[in-house]
Chain A
Amino acid sequence: MTALFADRHIGTDTAAQKQMLAALGYPSVDALVDAAIPAGIRLPADAATTLPPAASEVEALAELRALAERNRVARPMIGLGYHGTVTPAVIQRNVLENPSWYTAYTPYQPEISQGRLEALINFQTMVTDLTGLATANASMLDEGTAVVEGMLLARRASGSSSNVFLVDADALPRTKELLRHRAEAVGIVLHETSYDMSPPPADLDVFGAFIQYPGASGRLWNPAEVVAAVKAQGGITVLAADLLSLALVTSPGELGADVAVGTTQRFGVPLGFGGPHAGYMAVRAGLERQLPGRLVGVSQDADGYPAYRLSLQTREQHIRREKATSNICTAQVLLAVMASMYAVYHGPRGIKAIAHHANRMANLIADALREGGVTPLHELFFDTVTVRVPGRAAQVVASADAEGVLLWQVDADTVQFSTDETTTAADALVVLRAVLGDAAPAGLGFKPISRSIDPDHMRQTEYLTHPVFTTHHSETGMMRYLKYLADKDYALDRGMIPLGSCTMKLNAATEMAAVTWPEFANLHPLAPEADTAGYLQLIEQLSGWLADVTGYDEVSLQPNAGSQGELAGLLAIRGYHLANGENRTVCLIPSSAHGTNAASAVLAGMKVVVVACDELGNVDLDDLRTKVAEHADDLAALMVTYPSTHGVYEHEIRAVTDAVHAAGGQVYVDGANLNALLGYARFGDFGGDVSHLNLHKTFCIPHGGGGPGVGPVAAKAHLAPFLPGAGGDVHANPISSAPHGSPSILPISWAYVRMMGAEGLRRATGAAVLAANYIAVRLREHYPVLYAGDNGLVAHECILDLRPLREATGVTVDDVAKRLIDYGFHAPTMSFPVAGTLMVEPTESEDLAELDRFVEAMIAIRAEADAVGAGEWPAGDNPLANAPHTAESVIAGEWTHPYSREQAVYPVHTLVHGGKYWPPVRRIDQAYGDRNLVCACPPVEAFA
């Protein structure tokens, strides 16, 4: 008899739930949810479902195994931005498969995130070193979207009045597709050129230029003159550079480029049929504030020690909304950590050797081809060789495929292939046999090989010079470095992370198991369809299930994050209106909405009009009707989050969606809070036309410390033709580099749905709503709960209002958040959606003991704050103001504070033997870091 997985996933058992329900005064979970969710939107309990009944963990793994076996792992020499690589086993086991890394959240609480912040600053240092530029972020979603962000940056920063952007004719085909789709929406005109071979007209005014370096065809050339010419007319140049090639060739910075972008996939991150991988972006000095996404910087803590934190947060959309530099929020942290550790493990000499190997194998093949009478198209290349085989391209590709090697057919007469770290002599011989047939050599032998990089173009400058890149080269050293960093961080493997709107639920071990299976990990995104049957079946099933549980007709799994799903959904609305011959551009967004909504709307070419919210945090219906009437002719869409960002089931949601539809607008329902709804109501049933979901919230993909994410976009049939990959055409409405986004992590969500079944998902929702209401009722007399809906109930999260506390005692939200660290907790979401509040989302996965431990901590902190308010402790010197307390701060020197050391670090006795979490740094000075921006590894002496 195997246990039901839902009983493992849901933290509270029947007895615990009974106790919690008693505190709330409800007889059952169903009765509670019935009272909370408006009857008008509720799904009948006996509604039909296409979800299969729940499988056990063993059964689900067996089914995944069967799917995996339908995939064929071949030797991927297709290239085009995706390359074979060896994930060092020490990194796979200690990072990718280690919950200390993959269950962490975005490092918004820097004091308990120093480990991954150090890993990310290593990433930034690696990227700035190799690209020769001043500042890099951590990280982008993939190469193609990084190029798009580069284009948008160029337009912001150039100050040019031109709307023309030059695009390299030899760019990756997918990058061109993405540029076209995205440029059109924001009024940018693309002009394709092959630069030195057929340069653009001299009088063409441009705001920037994009160069693929080396070219997609493998061609290696020196674009310094083009860069200078663009700069001379005030434009910004964006280079998409292969990071590994930069170990051998002159860096973008040395060529004078302003921006470099690309992917770090080949730094030890599995292909995964397209993702997830970390993209990168680096800029020259002076453009730091224009960088999209997250940027790690160095500041100092209360004792003056160096400490890491996220810098320049004000660039981001949660502050700037429609004026944000970009809509990117979730990054690819876990993958960026892996790539940075690959550089730490191999060091500068190892990276150079790997680059040499790829280049040497390409040369070896090119020389043998020349000997066999086939001259490669380009004499100079790094790792990619293109050859003309008139009329035979399909046959050449098929012949290599039959021997297990994948080449790329450019057209009927041309093939290309790329070499990498994993390319062997046997692979080379397969390529030669495929191209040369009987003229192929039997072996490669030892011959002097040609040079495919011009000596003047060779890199002369050093990189990866910081000691971190030369210290951890033994496996023992690497294992310990990863453990040392992981120990600094607070992740779900230590305790609850009750972050409102983030849904930090269990990422079960069984769900994670298949991610690293070779049949899922080692497939190239452009592998032939016959190789990927298992993947395609998994994608089709998961899409169908997601459509079923949300009430939509079509789902695209392509978007790599919620922000991208949102953008894809809005672009679908845009496409729909345009196809109907209507130019509707106004997007209504409630004032309580997450800032990403507004930032995405702008990128979809829409104009944001804000709708007021009432004192309960609901959309103000009167204001909505006024705004709808005002913009009736050009109303494109309303974006609304359900349940609302205030954690309340809005009663009037149908009236809201009806008003928008009546005026010809479309309704975008943000799926951020789907965890409060699954199994009880469906977006598509109460007026949603399109939504994005967050598989990394509701469907168990781990947050990875700030990515990967998957943000599927789901829509009604009338919008389906405008979704990414519509009608099975991977080129339609692209939103990510890879046709299916980040497939290697889809088995996680697949396993979750498969093991929960419809009934399990519904039970999870009930347990999540119960947990949030339990916390609300337990804490209500200590902290006011800001919003509630029907019957005084909240949804899956509750907002604790700390403003009265500050008024009475001077204790701030920051103080409470940092004090929670001393009690062994990750703080709830701070000051969103309302400044001066904490938003608590316990999720269904926490058990009652952990919920009670949190309640106990919050009540104890309230008492501490009251002591400050009563004057027992001075405002500037008390356990809250000084939180968090490091071990050193309570041991070193004389103790002069008006409270005891025990009060400082063991405020509740259970911590003494209960596995106390010790923060590695004290409170970090946010302002210092932004005023003194340092975004690369500080010298070792700084830590002395």
Chain B
Amino acid sequence: MSLPEGLKYTAEHEWIAVDGDVARIGITDYAADKLGDVVFVDLPKVGSAAAAGRVVGEIESTKSVGELYAPVDGEVVEVNDAVVDDPSLVNSDPYGAGWMIAVRFTELPALLSADEYAALTAE
């Protein structure tokens, strides 16, 4: 299970790449693996508001449905149309081409490090 060091993580199995006041968000390799083959991704509109802990999108696999939670308060400034067109990117490249949304935030909440997240998902 790959877990890039430079990223932050949440207990909802999301990763966050922070660049200035913008957080780019996706789901972890672990989450993608648990969901199985992702077939549909529903993302919010650019310009919509995101509230930490609230559902902003949906990720469907052939077997189950996962929800995308906003890890931060802020405004959605970018969404990945490529992953909507080709949901398999979530499985093939969860930390790269499979990213979901970018949110301009005001304040960054406490997030998990790669080690802390690894401990969380250890079985």
Interface residues of A (CB under 8 A from B): 289, 313-314, 319-320, 831, 926-927, 930-931
Contact = CB atoms under 8 A, between A and B. Distances in A.
B30 interface: no
Nearest to B91: A927
A591 to B, nearest CB: 15
A314 B62 CA distance: 7
A320 B63 CA distance: 10
8 contacts: A314-B39, A314-B60, A314-B61, A314-B64, A930-B39, A931-B86, A931-B87, A931-B88
B40 A313 contact: no
B63 A319 contact: yes
Contacts of A926: 37, 62
Q: Looking at B37, B39, B60, which has the most chain A CB atoms within 10 Å of its CB?
A: B39
Contacts, number: 35
Nearest to B62: A926
Q: Looking at B60, B61, B88, which has the most chain A CB atoms within 10 Å of its CB?
A: B60
B65 A927 contact: no
A313 B40 CA distance: 12
A931 B63 CA distance: 13
B61 to A, nearest CB: 7
Contacts of B87: 931
A927 B37 contact: yes
A279 to B, nearest CB: 26
Contacts of B63: 313-314, 319, 831
Contact of A319 (B37, B38, B39, B65): B65
Contact of A313 (B37, B62, B86): B62
A314 B67 CA distance: 13
Contacts of A319: 63-65
Contacts of A930: 37, 39-40, 60, 62
Contacts of B65: 314, 319-320
Nearest to B67: A323
A927 B88 contact: yes
Contacts of A831: 63
Nearest to B64: A319
B19 to A, nearest CB: 30
Given A313-B63, A314-B61, 9 more contacts: A289-B40, A314-B62, A314-B63, A314-B65, A927-B88, A930-B39, A930-B40, A930-B60, A931-B39
Contacts of B39: 314, 927, 930-931
A718 B40 CA distance: 47
B81 to A, nearest CB: 15
Interface of B: 36-40, 60-65, 86-88
A927 B60 CA distance: 10
Contacts of B60: 314, 930
Contacts of B88: 927, 931
Contacts of B62: 313-314, 926-927, 930
Nearest to A930: B39
Nearest to B36: A927
The 3 closest A-B pairs by CB, nearest first: A927-B37, A930-B39, A926-B62
Contacts of A927: 36-39, 61-62, 88
B69 to A, nearest CB: 15
A28 B87 CA distance: 57
Contacts of B64: 314, 319
A927 B37 CA distance: 6
A831 B61 CA distance: 15
A831 B36 CA distance: 14
A321 to B, nearest CB: 10
Q: Looking at B60, B62, B86, B87, which has the most chain A CB atoms within 10 Å of its CB?
A: B62
Contacts of B38: 927
Contacts of B86: 931
A623 to B, nearest CB: 23
A289 B87 CA distance: 15
Contacts of A931: 39-40, 86-88
A372 B37 CA distance: 69
A363 B102 CA distance: 64
A83 B60 CA distance: 42
Nearest to B39: A930
B115 to A, nearest CB: 25
Nearest to A289: B40
A319 B86 CA distance: 22
A622 to B, nearest CB: 26
A297 to B, nearest CB: 11
A927 B36 CA distance: 9
Contacts of A289: 40
B56 to A, nearest CB: 16
Q: Looking at A289, A313, A927, which has the most chain B CB atoms within 10 Å of its CB?
A: A927
Nearest to B38: A927
Contacts of A314: 39-40, 60-65
Nearest to A931: B39
A473 to B, nearest CB: 38
B116 to A, nearest CB: 26
B111 to A, nearest CB: 27
B90 to A, nearest CB: 11
A927 B61 CA distance: 8
Contacts of B40: 289, 314, 930-931
B59 to A, nearest CB: 10
Contacts of A320: 65
A855 to B, nearest CB: 28
Contacts of B37: 926-927, 930
Nearest to B65: A314
Nearest to A932: B39
Contacts of B36: 927
A831 to B, nearest CB: 8
A927 B39 CA distance: 6
Nearest to A309: B62
A37 to B, nearest CB: 34
Nearest to A320: B65
A927 to B, nearest CB: 3
A320 B40 CA distance: 15
B97 to A, nearest CB: 15
A320 B65 CA distance: 7
A829 to B, nearest CB: 14
A313 B63 CA distance: 7
A91 to B, nearest CB: 34
A76 to B, nearest CB: 45
Contacts of A313: 62-63
Contacts of B61: 314, 927
B48 to A, nearest CB: 13
B118 to A, nearest CB: 20
A313 B62 CA distance: 7
A930 B40 CA distance: 8
A751 to B, nearest CB: 40
A837 B40 CA distance: 26
A118 B34 CA distance: 32
A868 to B, nearest CB: 21
A314 B64 CA distance: 6
A926 to B, nearest CB: 4
A669 to B, nearest CB: 28
A927 B87 CA distance: 10
